[in-house]
């Protein structure tokens, strides 16, 4: 298991570099969650009604 503090420092660096998706993935993995794969299908948007 990696050091959580080191992961948060790396996430901070990634955020500062504008790499927000990578920082979010790292934080989620660090907290024990699994980050969704980058090629995961996007959520289905509800239909839009034009009136």
Number of domains in the chain: 1
Q: What is the pLDDT along the chain (51 residues), one digit of tens a residue?
A: 568 899 999 999 999 999 999 999 999 888 886 656 666 666 677 778 888
Cα 13 to Cα 9, 10, 39: the distances in Å are 6, 5, 24
What is the residue range of 24's domain? Answer: 1-33
| Torsion sign across C-alpha atoms 23, 29, 34, 38 | positive
Is 44 a member of any domain?
no
Domain assignment of residue 17, yes or no: yes
DSSP assignment of 21-43 = HHHHHHHHHHTT--PPPTTPPPP
pTM above 0.85, yes or no: no
Distance, first Cα to last Cα, the chain: 54
Tell me whether residue 16 is in a domain. Answer: yes
Q: Is residue 25 domain-resident?
A: yes
């Amino acid at each position: 298991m990696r050091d959580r503090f080191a992961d948060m420092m790396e996430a901070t660096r990634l955020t500062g570099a504008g790499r927000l998706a990578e920082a979010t993935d790292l934080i989620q993995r660090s907290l024990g969650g699994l980050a969704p794969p980058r090629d995961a299908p996007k959520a289905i948007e509800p239909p839009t009604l034009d009136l």
